[in-house]
Structure 1
Amino acid sequence: MTKKYLLTMTAAWMLVITPALSAPQITDNRSISHSDTLRNRPRVAVVLSGGGAKGMAHIGVLKVLERVGIPVDIITGTSMGSIVGALYAVGWNAERLDSLVRGQNWSFLLSDRDDYYSQNLLNRDRQATYFLSKAITLQKGKVGNEAGGLVEGKNLKKLFTHLTAGYADSMDFRQLPIPYACVATDIVDYSEYVFHSGTLPEAMRSSMAIPAVFTPVRIGQHVLVDGGLRNNYPADIAREMGADYIIGSTVQAPERSAEDLLTGSGILGHIIDVNCKNKFEENIAITDVPIWTNTKGFSAASFSEAAIDSLIKLGEKAAMAHWEELLALKRKMGLTEDYSPTRPTLRAEAALPLDFSDEAEEARPAHDILRGSIALRFDSEEKVAAQLNGVYSSSRRPIDAELTIRLGQRFVSTASVRWKPKRFALVGLTYSYENNDLDIHKEGNRSFNFTYNRHHAHLGIIGASIRNLAFDTNIAWDYYHVGRLLASDPSTSARPFKDEHFFSYHAQLRYDSEDMPVFPSRGAKFQAEYAYFTDDFASYQGHSGFSELRGHWRMSFPVSSKFTIRPMVYGRMLFGGEIPIVRSNCLGGYWFGHLVEQQMPFAGVVSLEDMQRHFLAGSVTGQFRLFRNHYVLGNASLGFHSEKPRDLLSEKPYIGGELAYFYHTMFGPLGASVGYSNLTDKVAFYVNLGFEF
């Protein structure tokens, strides 16, 4: 599954699914007449159909209606049409709507992800790992997912509430600047539910609640989902509200022949379009100026910048083809060609930037919560890996329990309990088991392969997490059981491969102000750790223990809106007598600690390279954003290593460079890189799909 597929299935439901031969229509029992003592002319309604992303064409149609000077006295819509219609009804004119939809991050809006920057570092790490998370509420006598769908839609609801500022409280929709109504489907009895009153954001959210994808909206005994299931083009509602003339905008696909139904997506699209026709022909028949936009080549999931631009232009082109009809309608209404109606004024607060951050993030939940998360990845080195995560959060005590299982070449199972007595304080106990199978290289050639099992436990005794900053001190225990050893390099046999156990003391500081988990365009990321290792709490092998000092610091500088320069310095140094091979330095790949805890990245090196005790490096990355989620990156690295710190800069330096392209999907970055380094003297090619874990 890809992000495009999920968006396709999501927006496809907006178009509607199963028709029924007959079903009752429900309204909220309020009068739907619209009296207007100031107007002595016929009333005009605009009706906007559902259609997912293809509904962006409605904005182009509205642009032309404004250009012609057609007054809009009533507006109705379904699904995407309900969203565009509601915003137009409160004062978002066509030009503002154009700018609004182009500026949204639709993959974020169509998810329940929290605003990345507003979270603490632990939750940011989760968001940068898992593509799907779902919470289950645990209440006395009741266990289940109250939502009833994969996506609660909290980001959409927050956006709707902000954009309808001044009209977000419960009200009669006849009192909006333009009287408005939208349609949802009550799945209790599969009936049509017409919103003429209520809270506007809730009505918009109900009309586009795709079954099983978005959670239904519950109002009393009604369970409301996408209105397209019953009435995807509600011209009849506009007529009931008193419209004398109806102008309609639809994005229904044309009839398909057998030759058109050759692909799975084509067949699915046809099934959806057929099921969209419930009441469609009858409603088109009562429309005075039906405007159909040909959206061939686009799907209900076409939320990219280029697609939105094209769809708006296609809607405008379709409406321009009806220019003379629209002028004739104006004359029929008794209006002159130069007549221009007064448009509603948007409330100033609705046009302000929206902050998606959640200030209540640190609060305990009202009920016990169990949240499950899934991550998947593929790369050309490890192949396929998956990770499952579950977090239990108590509502009564500041305690979280977490279990994580990683499946792949490297198997890891981790269990932890965290106690947070104060808002920023943190105490935790963690145990993990790891089984690893590693190939270690020396200057591009495999030196040895070995397997090991690792048991690790640590007790965090002093910890703090404050937005961008986290500090932790802990005591740890490790046991390494070395299994198979296959040595290609004769010198490897002389190195001590044996079972090891350690008691160690750690202090770590993290700072992260980057604006995105991958492909950041601004901010800084810093991490430093000091650790002292023993085998009896005080010494190692009868003498002083050995120490590890590691850290990295990178900055992102936006040169323009599309280009970012990202320098970084990093290193790891080992001090002491004998250093066990399981704690020695390793270099290669894209990330810190990906296959082993002590791994460091380097441009042009893909496999793990065995390095000397002291390593120091710097790199510069140039990042260019081609489109919203398309990135081209160039990276150059310079590194030094030696057995003694004073010899670092006198040893032969290693250099590396690489060029990469990535597309940012809901699963993480998808792309490939090609590079070279004099460390391996080989061209390295790497493919990656998914977040790092």
Structure 2
Amino acid sequence: TLLCCTAAVAQNFPNGLTTDSVDPAADSLFFSRMRERMDSIRRTEHRPTVALVLSGGGAKGAAQVGALRYLEETGIPIDLVCGTSIGGMLGGMYAVGYDSGRLAQLFMDQDWNVMLSDYVDPVYIPYSMKMYNARYLISIPFDTAREVFDSRMPEGPGYRRQTFLGSLPSGMVYGFNVNNLLSSLTVGWQDSLSFAELPVPFVCVATDVVSGKAKNWVSGSLNTAVRSTMSIPGLFEPVRSSGMVLVDGGTRNNFPTDIARAAGADYIIGIELSDSKAGYEDVNNIVDIAMQFVDMLGGGAFLTNVKLPDVTIKPDIPEYNMMSFSREAVDTMLRRGYAAAQRKAGELQALKEKVGGGRAAVLDGAVNIAETPVEIGEIVFNGVGEKEAAIISKLLSFEEGATVGKKELDEVMSRFQATGAFSSVTWSLLGHAEPYVLAFEFVKAPANNIGLGFRIDSEEWASLLFNFGLNTNSMTGSRLNFTAKLGQNLKADIHYSLDFPRFPAINLTASISQYRGDLGTPGSKYAYNASYWTHKELLYLTDVRWTRLNFEAGFKNQYINLDRSTHLGSLIEQTFSEEALKGDYLGVFANGHLYTFDDYYYPSKGTSLSFGVNYDFIKPGDSSFRPVLTVAAGFRTVVPLGGKFAFIPEIYLRGVLSTGENTDGGGHVYKDISVLHTNFVGGDIAGRYTDSQIPFFGLDNVTIADEYLSTVALELRYNPARRFYVSAMTGIIESNDSASRFIPDFSPDIWAVGAEFAYDSVAGPIKLNCHWSNTNKWGVYVSFGFDF
């Protein structure tokens, strides 16, 4: 009843439209201009005019392309195209010269999983950001509340009210890849203009959630218009323009035949994709819910507008929905759309006899720079200051005067997006002919960040990771991070860095951690109860912008205090002295990591190669201390075997060198090293309990090893389904207290075999690892969540 009442009064809105508009005056000016154009066609071509109207429907828009192919075959001229959502996108492309064949190719060629996301190839993402993303399930950007209390703060496209809640995301994706695609397709028609000037006049509809009215895009930026009309609430962030917050136009007018009528078209052809009323079993996810709201809010206008076309084409695609972007689904919908139009052959032929003519060739269509690179005359950066522009310009791979295509611009945009400094980056090629002005538009991201990660496993039970970062999303200046791990073993650190545009960053880190658990001994299934706490301070240099390489070098101080009441503490105190349980160690260090994996947990390609050197040369208060040098290296790579199989070898090496020695009461000689320097091996995560811990799947407990340690693990991994993984593993551990005897006396202390079953969920891997070793026999490790 409510929808019927809405429809009954719909014609009372200005310009005879079925929905209220944010700018009736601009609409009226456009309609007046279009009616003049329609009159001119009638006078000069001696025929009635025709408008094509395309409804919303997501992936089902492929059926509209199929129907459009049949319309082109009939030769019916199109004088105006109107659309909403996917219909608006297709209509916009049709308006600048894309025929059904090119539109069908666009549908078929896209990777829609990428297109409907803000995915950036990992090759462009800084190393530090890759490591951050691998640890945190939730990352919430935010700003301070200072501006909330200052009414003089400006507002505009590059500014958002800076409150914590106000800076939270307004959609799952902002449309990074969709924006890039649209910009690459419409070169030559990206300036602000009246859409009556396009090769085929065009209108699309978005909804302004501030006023609750329809935004009828009759002028402005074609890319902005098209992006806003398909901004599905909850999936895409709204488009902010001229004080409006714009979402999918289907929430107000999903089938804008009223606009075609107001523009003076004599005949209207509509291609309509609405579904039958959704049932209980049809509403299953956030997209289904969003589309139900779209249908409910736009229902009144739809009931009126669906009656207006002279010919309505409705493809028969009940089994598909707005997310059916698979190649098979698209191909089927293209064919069914064509068949649906073919079923209207009688009506279309009758219309053809009335209008005659045919679609004139578009002589001034848009340039697709994926096919035809263009010359760049000038490059401008909007939304950033001079310092940031100077940094950004270094990320460009071309200069003014160069000829560039979609590939080059996609690469540059990926670099910009990967900085994390911007909530959105878009580009336009302004001008109607070469050389074009390349204009980048930046909207700064909230400067601060909160991260949350968790893991549940059979080793520590439940652990929570919390990060609070200040100014972490800025390109230069000071950054401050506080990180805390809560669980059986506690850890906290505070990290300050000062970043420079052209020089390595200066870093200062202070951390404290506590370990409580069991430490095993080589070749034995027994373990010592141990408990210790340690703090560490680091001053070092690094470069935060490297994407595949990380290098750190600097000074450090580390203190350890081993609890004398534990089994291990008591043993060390009795064997040596109380001083052996604790102490400060001052030294220098250098670490490097080459990292090219395409995924942190289940890479399909790439290599990880790491090294570390630590030299402790002073133990304050202990004149008998001799320097300790530790050297470590690690290697892991993925060898694709074709299909769903991969071979993954992994090698770790670590050596401890010290000139100092201690002798116990029995005459045994021991190296003068602490728990901080000792080799540890075992467990699933490297460095989980000590910096020197090397992972090994075949040991549940962390085990003390001799001074020279190597592990080798070989994994054969099978990927039977998209996120499922099954692995078979084997490996060995060899350790020796003498470097000279390491190779001659090589005889593995431990060898193990295992199998792992895993599912890579959005909340972190779910793993079940079953293994057997010659020392510890059977073991099981279960985990859910990220590694930290």
TM-score of the aligned structures, taking structure 1 as reference length: 0.80
SS at match of 2:30: coil
Cα distance between partner residues in 1 of 2:45 and 2:609: 65
Is 2:170 aligned against 1:149?
yes
- In structure 2, what is the equivalent of residue 597 of structure 1? 691
- In structure 1, what is the equivalent of residue 784 of structure 2? 688
Once the two structures are aligned, what percentage of the paired residues are identical? 22
SS at match of 1:25: coil
Cα distance between partner residues in 2 of 1:371 and 1:20: 50
Q: What displacement does 1:313 show?
A: 2.5
Q: What displacement does 1:212 show?
A: 6.5
SS at match of 1:202: helix
SS at match of 1:651: coil
Deviations 1:301-356 (A, max 9, x none): x47x75x643652564365355321464145313999x998689762414544324
How do 1:562-641 residues align onto structure 2 when only pairs under 5 Å count?
564-576=646-658, 577-623=671-717, 631=725, 633-641=727-735
Q: Which amino acid aligns with 1:459?
A: L
- In structure 2, what is the equivalent of residue 380 of structure 1? 457
Deviations 1:560-592 (A, max 9, x none): 576554433322222222332354333334442
Q: What displacement does 1:536 show?
A: 2.3
Q: Which amino acid aligns with 2:467?
A: N
Taking structure 1 as reference, are residues 418 and 311 closer, same or farther at Cα in structure 2, changes over 3 Å only?
same
Q: 1:503, 1:534 within 8 Å by CA — same for their partners in 2?
A: yes
Cα distance between partner residues in 1 of 2:701 and 2:724: 26
Cα distance between partner residues in 2 of 1:396 and 1:554: 31
- In structure 2, what is the equivalent of residue 390 of structure 1? 468
Deviations 1:253-307 (A, max 9, x none): 42356x75898988887566444524122222224224255455x665x47x75x
Cα distance between partner residues in 2 of 1:269 and 1:607: 51
Cα distance between partner residues in 1 of 2:491 and 2:449: 17
Is 2:490 aligned against 1:418?
no
Q: 1:168, 1:199 within 8 Å by CA — same for their partners in 2?
A: yes
Taking structure 1 as reference, are residues 118 and 340 closer, same or farther at Cα in structure 2, changes over 3 Å only?
same
Is 2:56 aligned against 1:56?
no
Taking structure 1 as reference, are residues 674 and 291 closer, same or farther at Cα in structure 2, changes over 3 Å only?
farther
Q: 1:448, 1:489 within 8 Å by CA — same for their partners in 2?
A: no
- Pick the structure with greater CA Rg: 2
Deviations 1:358-390 (A, max 9, x none): 259779889895321423333433444433333
Q: What displacement does 1:526 show?
A: 1.8
Taking structure 1 as reference, are residues 516 and 686 closer, same or farther at Cα in structure 2, changes over 3 Å only?
same
SS at match of 2:314: strand
Cα distance between partner residues in 1 of 2:417 and 2:285: 44
Q: What displacement does 1:544 show?
A: 0.9
Taking structure 1 as reference, are residues 137 and 158 closer, same or farther at Cα in structure 2, changes over 3 Å only?
farther
Taking structure 1 as reference, are residues 268 and 152 closer, same or farther at Cα in structure 2, changes over 3 Å only?
closer
363-372 or 203-212, which deviates more: 363-372
- In structure 1, what is the equivalent of residue 533 of structure 2? 453
How do 1:309-348 residues align onto structure 2 when only pairs under 5 Å count?
309-310=328-329, 313-314=332-333, 316-317=335-336, 320-321=339-340, 323-326=342-345, 328-334=347-353, 347-348=367-368
Q: 1:672, 1:687 within 8 Å by CA — same for their partners in 2?
A: yes
Q: 2:231, 2:248 within 8 Å by CA — same for their partners in 1?
A: yes
Deviations 1:628-661 (A, max 9, x none): 6555555443442233334444222644455545
Taking structure 1 as reference, are residues 299 and 64 closer, same or farther at Cα in structure 2, changes over 3 Å only?
closer
Cα distance between partner residues in 2 of 1:447 and 1:360: 49
Q: What displacement does 1:207 show?
A: 2.3
Q: Which amino acid aligns with 1:432?
A: S
Taking structure 1 as reference, are residues 88 and 599 closer, same or farther at Cα in structure 2, changes over 3 Å only?
farther
| Count of residue pairs the alignment pairs up | 666
Taking structure 1 as reference, are residues 530 and 276 closer, same or farther at Cα in structure 2, changes over 3 Å only?
same
- In structure 2, what is the equivalent of residue 202 of structure 1? 224
Q: 1:380, 1:688 within 8 Å by CA — same for their partners in 2?
A: yes
Deviations 1:47-93 (A, max 9, x none): 44444xxx112114413431562557344333344334434544555
Q: What displacement does 1:460 show?
A: 1.0
Taking structure 1 as reference, are residues 546 and 404 closer, same or farther at Cα in structure 2, changes over 3 Å only?
same
Cα distance between partner residues in 2 of 1:21 and 1:615: 82
Choose the corresponding residue for 2:636, options 535, 544, 554.
554
How do 1:274-673 residues align onto structure 2 when only pairs under 5 Å count?
274-287=296-309, 288-292=311-315, 294-296=317-319, 302=323, 306=326, 309-310=328-329, 313-314=332-333, 316-317=335-336, 320-321=339-340, 323-326=342-345, 328-334=347-353, 347-351=367-371, 352-353=406-407, 354-355=410-411, 356-359=413-416, 370-381=447-458, 382-393=460-471, 398-441=477-520, 445=525, 447-460=527-540, 466-483=546-563, 498-534=581-617, 536=619, 542-558=624-640, 560=642, 564-576=646-658, 577-623=671-717, 631=725, 633-649=727-743, 650-652=746-748, 654-660=750-756, 662-670=758-766, 672-673=768-769
Task: Considering Cα pairs closer than 8 Å and 6+ residues apart, tell me whether 1 or 2 has the greater RCO.
Answer: 1
Q: 2:564, 2:573 within 8 Å by CA — same for their partners in 1?
A: no
- In structure 2, what is the equivalent of residue 226 of structure 1? 248
Taking structure 1 as reference, are residues 661 and 232 closer, same or farther at Cα in structure 2, changes over 3 Å only?
farther
Deviations 1:204-261 (A, max 9, x none): 332244557644333223232332321233332344345555454555442356x758
Q: What displacement does 1:445 show?
A: 4.5
Taking structure 1 as reference, are residues 183 and 364 closer, same or farther at Cα in structure 2, changes over 3 Å only?
closer
Taking structure 1 as reference, are residues 155 and 404 closer, same or farther at Cα in structure 2, changes over 3 Å only?
farther
Cα distance between partner residues in 2 of 1:260 and 1:561: 35
